């Protein structure tokens, strides 16, 4: 078993757990600033909110156990590089920003069908509560199933329930072979139903790109199954993704216009403009309000921002 720490390579490792809790404190509006790559999501933070930075650094990484402990202020680029050295990867998107920011916005990697869902990949989360206390939920092992599932609650919460300090993530090996292919005449939904375990099926309204991964014979077999539903050519990678992430039902894709990229089988569409906030059922509003009041009764964590 190989364990090592690469925290010394990271650029903002000046803050530790207890220091971060002290920075957050127990009073007054506060927000964590990361890479600001998704700063627009969930509304504008109140201008009076005090800005703090989460600690950074890869604390420990055990390739044999396929888990990595990483602090929230670490950039996703730094984490990707550390994992690549051992031939592994994780479910976080590689679109810039920090690990903590990626976790709290809850955005999956475009290759989520192959890499796994973010909610299932966050094994443990350590965060600072509204009272300034250090809270830890989840467990450091993949098989841990005990206790209340705090990590799933924190993922996608936009920092409104707690300010993330550190997470333990599940990792997985890079596949022996990866191949992107593109077709201009294949129906993307037919593709998604025909191919066995594609890592991504992306559609931009005029062409479909599919990521096939696995051992070489498996990739070849998947590619062969595609030839019956269209003409395919190998391409270098995914489409360039627009900035804003939408959540849509499959039937709603017909109404998409302009520049967009849809992840078939996932429900995610990237577009140039932000998605209007949908009207929520009263039951959802009630539950989210009760949850917020329980975790942050004074509303000091990321005031002005809402995960709903």
DSSP string, 101-140: HHHHHTPPPTTHHHH--HHHHEEEEEEE-TTS-EEEEE-S
Q: Which tens digit of pLDDT belongs to each residue from 7-52?
A: 433 333 445 677 999 999 999 999 999 888 878 888 899 999 999 9
pLDDT tens sequence across 115-152: 999 999 999 999 999 999 999 999 877 655 555 689 99
Tell me how far the alpha carbon of residue 128 is from its chain's centroid: 20
Q: Is residue 68 within 8 Å of 79, Cβ to Cβ? A: yes
106 — phi, psi (to 5°)? 70, 30
- Mean predicted lDDT score pLDDT of the chain: 90
What would the mean pLDDT of 178-189 be, rounded to a whole number?
Answer: 96
Res 254: pLDDT: 82
Assign 64 a pLDDT band (cuts: 50, 70, 90): very high
**Structure confidence at residue 146 (pLDDT):** 58
Looking at residue 10, what is its pLDDT? Answer: 37
Joined together, the tokens standing for residue 127 give 């965060």
**Tens digits of per-residue pLDDT, 198-251?**
999 999 999 999 999 999 999 999 999 999 999 999 999 999 999 999 999 888
User: Which segment of 83-92, 172-181, 268-277 scores lowest on mean pLDDT?
Assistant: 268-277
């Amino acid at each position: 078993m190989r364990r090592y720490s690469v925290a010394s390579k990271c650029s903002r490792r000046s803050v530790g757990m207890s220091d971060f809790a002290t920075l957050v404190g127990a009073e007054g509006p506060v927000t964590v600033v990361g890479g600001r790559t998704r700063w627009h999501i969930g509304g504008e933070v109140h201008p009076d909110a005090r800005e703090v930075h989460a600690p950074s650094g890869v604390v420990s990484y055990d390739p044999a156990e396929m888990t990595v402990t990483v602090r929230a202020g670490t950039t996703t680029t730094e984490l990707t590089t550390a994992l690549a050295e051992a031939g592994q990867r994780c479910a976080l998107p590689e679109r810039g920003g920090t690990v903590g920011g990626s976790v709290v916005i809850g955005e999956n990697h475009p290759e989520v069908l192959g890499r796994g869902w973010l909610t299932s990949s966050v094994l443990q989360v350590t965060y600072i509560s509204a009272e300034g206390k250090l809270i830890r939920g989840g467990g450091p092992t993949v098989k841990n199933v005990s206790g209340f599932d705090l990590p799933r609650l924190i993922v996608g919460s936009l920092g409104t329930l707690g300010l993330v300090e550190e997470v333990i993530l599940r990792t997985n090996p890079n596949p022996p072979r990866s191949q992107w292919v593109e077709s201009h005449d294949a129906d993307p939904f037919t593709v998604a139903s025909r191919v066995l375990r594609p890592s991504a099926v992306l559609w931009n309204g005029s062409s479909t790109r599919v990521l096939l991964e696995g051992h070489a014979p498996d990739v070849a077999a998947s590619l062969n199954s595609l030839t019956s539903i269209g003409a395919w050519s190998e391409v270098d990678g995914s489409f360039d993704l627009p900035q804003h992430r939408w959540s849509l039902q499959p039937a709603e894709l017909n109404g998409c216009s302009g520049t967009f990229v849809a992840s078939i089988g996932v429900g995610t569409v990237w577009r140039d403009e932000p998605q209007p906030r949908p009207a929520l059922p009263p039951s959802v509003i009630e539950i989210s309000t009760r949850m917020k009041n329980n975790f942050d009764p004074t509303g000091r964590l990321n005031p002005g921002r809402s995960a709903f």
